Copies of this chain bind each other. A is one copy, B any other.
Amino acid sequence: MTEFELIARLTPHLPLTDAVIQGAGDDCAVLAAPAPGQELLLKTDAIVEGIHFLPETDPERIGRKALARCLSDIAAMGGTPTAALVTLALPAAPQVERIEGIYRGLRRLAEAHGVAVVGGETTTNPGRLLISVTLLGTVPAGRAVLRQGSRVGDAIFVSGELGGSIHGHHLDFEPRLAEGRWLAETGCVHAMIDVSDGVAGDLPHLLGAGSATLGAELLKSAIPIRRAAREAARAGDTAKPPVVAALTDGEDFELLFTVAARDAVPVLDGWKARFPGVALSCIGRVVDRPGLWLRGEDGLRPMIGKGYEHFR
């Protein structure tokens, strides 16, 4: 089967929407402009065999993850995803069933979120499978929630639970799209990011990376620890205590954001009413002392450890 035959076999099954004027199969996709009053969001993200998934990982979960990571970034802006492109770099001769599985997982998640898949590319990458997804989205003009904007005294919130993602969550997480949009609509959120490198790695982005003035004080007992992180610690699978895993493990894909202290309770109440099945935790506050600080039984200590970083 050639590249063209494989693509021909996959493209008739790609999800489309009313915005798609020309989908896969031409030099470019052609899409309707967004509705008046909307701006565009654009994101790309790649996952690589051996790093973000394993050769034996279920292909549907691989495809799902490739798209879900980009969806999580659109969520962190308070946006709505509209159309995706998929690049598959394949290790050798085409692995037809594996590729079809990847597309199946990707397609299902795309359909669930009203995302059209409008093309992409298939190329060779001897050695390992790589999937790169580009996602286009929209956000009401002037309402995208950026990483910059936190102020001293802000409450710091995180959705869901943290840590131990490697035990399954990194493949099956639900991008917090409805939650992100709702948060943006409240108008209360000062800054937001999706946690992909651990709270310890990503929180500094909300404090102005490298800022000489802002820091964060987290309350150890308030950190929402995922069950898998506790179980891994209990089983001796990791040397990290659960709270350290929760703060430093990668691929949580939860929303981390700051709001003014006076808005903390209304946001928490509103969230609970709107998203009863998704935890929201106030884990600390923005302080005027640089660095990340953790308050536990033994007082206030500087946080050690970083989020997951490539090349480390």
Least CB distance from A292 to B in Å reads: 16
Query: Is A223 engaged at the interface, CB distance under 8 Å to the other chain?
Result: no
Q: A31-B40, A33-B39 are in contact. Are A125 and B125 (CB under 8 A)?
A: yes
B127 in contact with A46 (CB, 8 Å): no
A193 in contact with B119 (CB, 8 Å): no
Query: Is A237 engaged at the interface, CB distance under 8 Å to the other chain?
Result: no
Residues of B within 8 A of A36 (CB): 33
Query: Is A34 engaged at the interface, CB distance under 8 Å to the other chain?
Result: yes
Number of copies: 2
Query: Is A139 engaged at the interface, CB distance under 8 Å to the other chain?
Result: yes
B46 in contact with A39 (CB, 8 Å): no
Interface string of A76-104 (1 = CB under 8 A from B): 11010001010101000110000000000
Residues of B within 8 A of A44 (CB): 44, 85, 87, 119-121, 132, 134
Residues of B within 8 A of A42 (CB): 28-29, 31, 83, 85, 118-119, 134, 136
Query: Is A22 engaged at the interface, CB distance under 8 Å to the other chain?
Result: yes
B27 in contact with A132 (CB, 8 Å): no
Interface string of A176-218 (1 = CB under 8 A from B): 0000000000000000111000000000000001000000000
Determine the distance from Cα of A66 to Cα of B93 in the docked complex, in whole angstroms. 24
Least CB distance from A12 to B in Å reads: 13
Determine the distance from Cα of A141 to Cα of B42 in the docked complex, in whole angstroms. 21
Least CB distance from A18 to B in Å reads: 13
The answer, among B46, B77, B139, B309, for a CB contact under 8 Å with A132, is B46
Residues of B within 8 A of A136 (CB): 40, 42, 136
Least CB distance from A291 to B in Å reads: 17
Query: Is A41 engaged at the interface, CB distance under 8 Å to the other chain?
Result: yes
Q: Which of A132-166 contact B (CB under 8 A)?
A: 132, 134, 136-137, 139, 141, 144, 146-147
A51 in contact with B124 (CB, 8 Å): yes
Residues of B within 8 A of A30 (CB): 39-41, 77, 139, 144, 146
A147 in contact with B27 (CB, 8 Å): yes
Query: Is A73 engaged at the interface, CB distance under 8 Å to the other chain?
Result: yes
Determine the distance from Cα of A292 to Cα of B147 in the docked complex, in whole angstroms. 55
User: Which chain A residues have a beta carbon within 8 Å of chain B's beta carbons?
Assistant: 1-4, 21-22, 25-34, 36, 38-48, 50-51, 73-74, 76-77, 79, 83, 85, 87, 89, 93-94, 118-128, 130, 132, 134, 136-137, 139, 141, 144, 146-147, 192-194, 209, 309-312
Q: List 20 A-B contacts (CB under 8 A).
A: A2-B311, A21-B144, A22-B144, A26-B146, A27-B74, A27-B192, A28-B43, A29-B43, A30-B144, A33-B39, A33-B40, A33-B141, A42-B118, A42-B134, A43-B119, A44-B44, A44-B85, A44-B134, A48-B123, A130-B130
Besides A33-B33, A33-B38, A46-B121, 10 new A-B residue pairs in contact (Cβ under 8 A), listed by A number:
A2-B312, A25-B147, A26-B146, A27-B73, A27-B193, A30-B40, A33-B40, A44-B44, A47-B123, A123-B310
